[in-house]
Amino acid sequence: MNALEFFFLLYFIVAAFIYAIQRRGAIPFTLPGDIYIHIGQKKIYIPLGSSLIITIILFLILNRFRK
């Protein structure tokens, strides 16, 4: 698995994790770049910014251990 595949794998895992936490009812954290829409009883949360930042941090840490 090359570095780009590893990065996207981490991105999808982190995005799924943040989405799963959000489904419990509370927004864990929001950063600039996250999309949060609240209309009536419906809430839409897309963690673009936070999942990207967490993925970059995890990628750098785990990539250092892989070498």
Per-domain residue ranges for the chain? 3-66
pTM of the complete model beyond 0.95: no
Residue 66 to residue 11: CA distance in whole angstroms: 17
- Summarised one tens digit per residue, pLDDT across range 6-49 is 888 888 888 888 777 777 766 656 777 778 788 888 877 777 88
Residue 48 to residue 62: CA distance in whole angstroms: 21
Q: Which residues contact 28 (CB under 8 A, 6 or more apart)?
A: 18, 21, 22
Structure confidence at residue 12 (pLDDT): 85
